[in-house]
Amino acid sequence: MAIGKTAATNGTPVYEICVALRRKPGAYSGLKVSHRAFFNAVEALGIAVRQAGPLEPKVTQLVQLGAAAAIRSEGAVHSHVRRALELGLSGPEIHHALIALTSTIGFPTVRAALSWADDVINAAPTGRKSARGDRAAASRRRHRVPSA
C-alpha cells in the first residue's frame, strides 16, 4: 500500500502501521515497558499531530529532523533520519534539509547533525558511503599484505 492509504482492518494509515512495526532502539523499548501508559500517550500524540494537518509525511519528518538538530538531540536526529529514509527521502535530500538550517542554528550544530545523520544513512542498505569511509577502505586496500 502507498503512503496515505489506510489499512482495511481499522482505518489506521499504513504509515502509522509501518512506524509501529519499525525496530525501536533498546533504550526506547526498555522505557516503553517500564512506563507503558506514558509512552502510549506520547505515541498517540505523535499520530494525532501527523494527521492534524495538510503536510505530507516526508515534509513532517524533515521539520522534525530540523527541530531535533536544533536541540542537538543525537537520538532524535537518528530517529527522524531513519523515518525519512523509510519514507523514501534520499541522503542528499536529508543533508540539504540540515544544511538549510545553518544560518538559523549555526555551523557547529549543523555539522554535528550531519554527522549523526550519516550514522544512519551509511548504515542503511541503500545508503551511500561517506567520503571518509571510502578513503579508509582505499587505505586498507593499499596497505594490504599480499598473501604467499
Residue 69 has pLDDT above 70, yes or no: yes
Q: Is residue 5 within 8 Å of residue 16, measured between CB atoms?
A: no
Angle at 117 between CA 100 and CA 41, to 5 degrees: 95
Name which of 114, 89, 91 is nearest 102 in CA terms: 114
Sequence-ordered list of residues with C-beta below 8 angstroms from that of 132, at least 6 positions apart, any chain: none
Average pLDDT, the chain: 78
Whole-number Å distance between alpha carbons of 92 and 99: 10
Residue 9 confidence (pLDDT): 43
Residue 109 confidence (pLDDT): 98
Residue 35 backbone phi and psi in degrees, to 5:
-135, 55
CA distance to 53, 78, 81, 109, per residue, from 84 (Å):
18, 10, 5, 20
Full-model pTM: 0.66
Mean pLDDT score, 55-80: 96
Cell of 77: 536526529
Show me where the domains of the chain are located: 1-53, 57-148
Whole-number Å distance between alpha carbons of 84 and 13: 17
Residue 126 confidence (pLDDT): 53
Which tens digit of pLDDT belongs to each residue from 84-120? 999 999 999 999 999 999 999 999 999 999 999 999 9
Whole-number Å distance between alpha carbons of 114 and 71: 14
Residue 136 has pLDDT above 50, yes or no: no
Higher-scoring residue by pLDDT: 124, 146: 124
Cell of 119: 550514522
Residue 146 DSSP label: P
For 57-148, give the CATH class.
Answer: mainly alpha
Q: Is residue 117 within 8 Å of residue 94, measured between CB atoms?
A: yes
